[in-house]
Amino acid sequence: MKKTITSGALTIFAALAIVSCTKTNDVHVNKNELSAAEVSMIQAAGLKATGAIKIEGRYLIEGDILLTADELRSMSTNNGPNLIVANSEQYRTINLITGLPRTIKIGYIGTHSNVWWAVALAAARYNALGLQIKFQMVTSGLPNIIVTDVSGKPYIAQSGFPTSNGNPYLFIRFNTAYANWNGNTLISVLAHEMGHCIGFRHTDYMDRSYSCGGAYDNEGWGNSGAIPIPGTPTGPDANSWMLACIGNGVNRPFNANDKVALNYLY
């Protein structure tokens, strides 16, 4: 199914604001920011360099994945299982959370009470599934995932993939310019970023125009891991919590296929 959208109706989780207002998603690499070597490094990790930008020494890729150069290099040398490009399924990275069953502590370091509640309710969505991973909101100590406020950034929220030693990605950065968005949308955004932290790629990574509109746009797969999860569909999957784009007012609780994917992995 192809969605027809009006200008600005959908917003990429972490893409430049101008993307959601243009008629095409064909955003070129900022040559003033990334060198040819950096572009090659991103591509070698199996990720799409088009539209990637450098922020505070890290690389913002695919809209909401923030990785260091070392993380990208480690992904390019990972000889994981065969990676398959299909039409539309739930996808995972090579690295997943290990040491199951496991409780993942998540904390919010910020000043917006509605964001705190969004994190808590996103955790509750996962916990309601009875998975082998549980999320626990904490207010002290060192969490496994830290949600922190940022401002003046070209994204709504961003995170990264699990580490090679089986831990979740440590940070979710939330742009406070969106702190007053619809409550269910905020919950969906935070649940989406938590999904990346535990090893999920975008459901429509092979063609993000499915949720974002615009031209065909494949994020790439390579050795970073875009491994289809058995039991999930081979056709378009509407309303998945891991679709690349969302608009204010949209609520994306886990659909039936999301639950299959989460239960298969955890």
pLDDT in tens, 116-138: 999 999 999 999 999 999 999 99
**Cα gap 193→189, rounded to integer Å:** 6
Q: What domains appear along the chain, each with residue ranges and CATH number?
A: 11-265 (3.40.390.10)
Structure tokens at 201: 């790629």
Taking only the tens place, the pLDDT of each residue in 219-251 is 544 444 667 777 787 655 778 898 888 899 999
**Cα gap 57→206, rounded to integer Å:** 27
**Cα gap 65→131, rounded to integer Å:** 24
Q: State how far Cα 23 lies from the chain centre.
A: 23
**Cα gap 200→262, rounded to integer Å:** 9
Taking only the tens place, the pLDDT of each residue in 5-44 is 333 334 444 432 222 222 223 333 444 468 888 888 777 7
E strands, the chain, are: 11-12, 53-55, 58-61, 65-67, 91-92, 102-109, 133-137, 145-150, 157-158, 171-175, 227-228, 245-246
**Cα gap 175→150, rounded to integer Å:** 5
**Cα gap 51→133, rounded to integer Å:** 33
User: Does residue 85 or residue 105 have the better pLDDT?
Assistant: 105
Q: Give the orientation angle of helix 113-127 with respect to helix 183-197, to 10 degrees.
A: 60
